[in-house]
Amino acid sequence: MGFPFENATWDGLDGAMFMGWGGIMPGVYTAISVLICVYVLWAGNRAEQQKYKAFENK
Amino acid sequence: MEEQFAELLAKVAQLEANSAVTNTIFAETYYFISIPLMIIIHAGFLAYEMGASRLKNTLSSGVKNILAFAFMIPTFYFIGWWVYWAFPTGLTLSAGPNGISGAEYASSIALGWGESAQYMGPNIADNASGVFFGAFALFAATTASIMSGALIERIQTVGFVILAIVLGSFAWVIAAAWGWHADGWLVTQWGVHDFGAAGLVHAVAGFFALGVLINLGPRIGKYNADGSANVIAGHNMPLTVIGLMLIIVGFFGFLMACIIVPGEAWSWSSTTSASIYGTPMTISALTFNTLMAIAGGIIGAWVVTKDPFWMMSGALAGIISTASGLDIYFPGLTFIIASSAGALLMPLASMVERRGIDDAVGAFTVHGIIGLYGVILLGVFGSGFPAALGAAGEVATISLTGQIIGAIVFALLGFVPGYVVSFILKKVGMLRTPESAELAGLDPTKVPAQAYPEGIGASAAASS
């Protein structure tokens, strides 16, 4: 989280410069993104099947 | 005098530094611009599919196309980019001769965690990774869009998205690693050359769609009891034709992203543009050949069909049939090949249709069959060209045998996963929509909006 280096300055910066660089947070963010995609597919499929059933029962 | 000399040296150093910055920004911008141009391909497929759908399925077709794009980007970020760099030498995941492949290399540059994350996010010293990733992610989205049109009006949305992920973030990426990478075994061992991805994008996507179509089955009403096929016309032919034209526009972005610009640390040359294999080429060559291919494809299709849908599909076929060699064909030859592809298109599509394959937009024919046609024809006309940077003897050369092997591998890399994954989805009830929903239309079943809330008038011919 926050500025990834000890001194909050742009001077001498020559590489990665994103929030969480150098720690575990990039991996955590990536893992959460994967979980979001998997969940959306699971929930999306459930909703889609419910819509088909509701339509058939009309 | 010494002072003036030192001043001159300093000025030269400053000029060199400025030149390097200009080149880096040019390279970064070059690939960045290819990305919105490739998004136009997606916009084209969106219009194309929605127009080719009947009124009752218009928005549903749009939803699945938009979702394919949305899921392709993160899944390619999570896994596809790693697969491209890990697999060139085959299933061993070992490093290739250029040292830019294998699991170890891929894990050092293409994962969104650990040390590798520095190349997968903002990095002031890296002007290349993001734009290369973006271009490849859009190639992936293109494969999903190619498949999308073939399956309209009866496929479930989430089932389709899963298929799109398998195709876009895995199947075509393996093909690209093997046949579109300087360390790819198809390139180093067989001299496979597929500059503009006729095989590894188009044929893979087309054959993947074929595998899915076999399990999905035709739309209700497509075939009669005697096996003859009915025409199921889309609701908006102008939208479809404009969509096809947009795809053509976007292809210029697709093809420009196939070039490695010179002058950077990762470039093949300090002075010359190159193909992804490192072989020299120019953007001018691409311009000559792409324009001649579009024209040839349209003319070939017009001669046979006189139908604007097939004429614009012919333009696509023209590009795809010559894509493998757009860097080295002569424009006259490009025109001849593209014309033949345009002329063959509708008869081939009819042949596929007669075999019970309901490919709603002819995607398997245009991308699958014509893609392979293009890969193999390059073996006929381009044999002997070095397939990588170097001379014959040091590197493999293009040959008919190599191109045929490449074509077979690309077809299998598409068809097998397409068939297997769609078979599994069918078994778990996630492939095809229920019959009642298909008959009523997918928009009223599951889309909370209407394509034309005030209705749409019939054309003069239909109403007279």
Q: What is the pTM of this model?
A: 0.94
Compute φ and ψ for A22, nearest 5 degrees: 95, -5
CA distances from B58 to B52, B108, B230, B235, B438 (A): 8, 44, 20, 8, 12
- pLDDT of residue A40 exceeding 70, the answer is yes
pLDDT, residue B463, reads 44
Q: What is the pLDDT of residues B198-245, one digit of tens each?
A: 999 999 999 999 999 999 999 999 999 999 999 999 999 999 999 999
- Residues B127/B129/B134/B140 CA torsion (nearest 10 deg): 160
Torsion of CA B106, B110, B111, B112, to 10 degrees: 170
Sign of CA dihedral B290, B142, B192, B414: negative
At B223, phi and psi to the nearest 5? -115, 145
Is the C-alpha dihedral spanning B133, B131, B112, B92 positive or negative?
positive
User: B123: helix, coil or strand?
Assistant: strand
Question: Could you tell me if A18 lies within 8 Å of chain B, comparing CB atoms?
Answer: yes
Cβ distance of A33 and B78 shorter than 8 Å: yes
B458 φ, ψ to 5°? -75, 155
Check if A13 contacts B (Cβ < 8 Å).
yes
Partnered with residue B255 across adjacent β-strands are none
Chain centroid to CA B93 = 24
Partner B contacted by A23 (CB < 8 A): no
Contact B118 A52 (CB under 8 A): no
CB contact under 8 A, B113 and A26: yes
A27: chain B residues, CB-CB within 8 Å: 112-114, 117
Contact residues on chain A for B120, CB-CB shorter than 8 A: 26
Distance CA B398, CA B165 (A): 32
Check A37 against B117: CB less than 8 A apart: no
Q: Which residues in chain B are contacts of A24 at CB distance < 8 A?
A: 113
Given a contact cutoff of 8 angstroms between Cβ atoms, the answer to whether B172 and B140 are in contact is yes
Q: Quick one: which H or E segment has residue B266?
A: none
Q: Any chain A CB within 8 A of the CB of B221?
A: no
pLDDT tens string A10-36: 998 899 999 999 999 999 999 999 999
Exposure on the CB side of residue A38, measured as CA atoms within 13 A: 7
Strand partners, B397: B386
| Cβ–Cβ under 8 Å, residues B189 and B401 | no
pLDDT of B201 reads 97
> Any CB–CB contact under 8 A between A41 and chain B?
yes
- Cα–Cα nearest to B308, from B364, B360, B239, B207: B239
Neighbours of B299 (CB within 10 A): 18
Determine which of B67, B75, B123, B126 to mutate to test the interface with A (most A C-beta atoms within 10 Å): B123
Q: Which of B71, B112, B114 sits opposite A37 (nearest CB)?
A: B71
Chain A CB contacts of B445 under 8 Å are: 51-52, 55
Q: Within chain B, which residues score under 70 in pLDDT?
A: 460-464
* B2-449 CATH choice from 1.10.150.120, 3.30.200.20, 1.20.1540.10, 1.10.3430.10: 1.10.3430.10
Provide the number of CB pairs (under 8 Å) joining chain A to chain B: 78
Kindly list the distances between the CA atom of residue B363 and the CA atoms of B20, B56, B102, B305, in Å, as whole numbers in the listed order. 44, 22, 33, 17
| Cα distances (angstroms) measured from residue B211 to each of B133, B151, B197, B363, B417 | 28, 11, 20, 12, 8
The enclosing H or E element of B113 equals: none
Domain ranges of chain B: 2-449
Residue B198, CA distances (Å) to B35, B139, B274 in order: 19, 12, 18
Q: B123 and A45: CB-CB below 8 Å?
A: no
Contact B320, B198 (CB under 8 A): yes
pLDDT score recorded for residue B457: 74
CB contact under 8 A, A56 and B434: yes
Strand partners for B392: B395
* pLDDT on residue B461: 60
- Write down the pLDDT at residue B363: 95
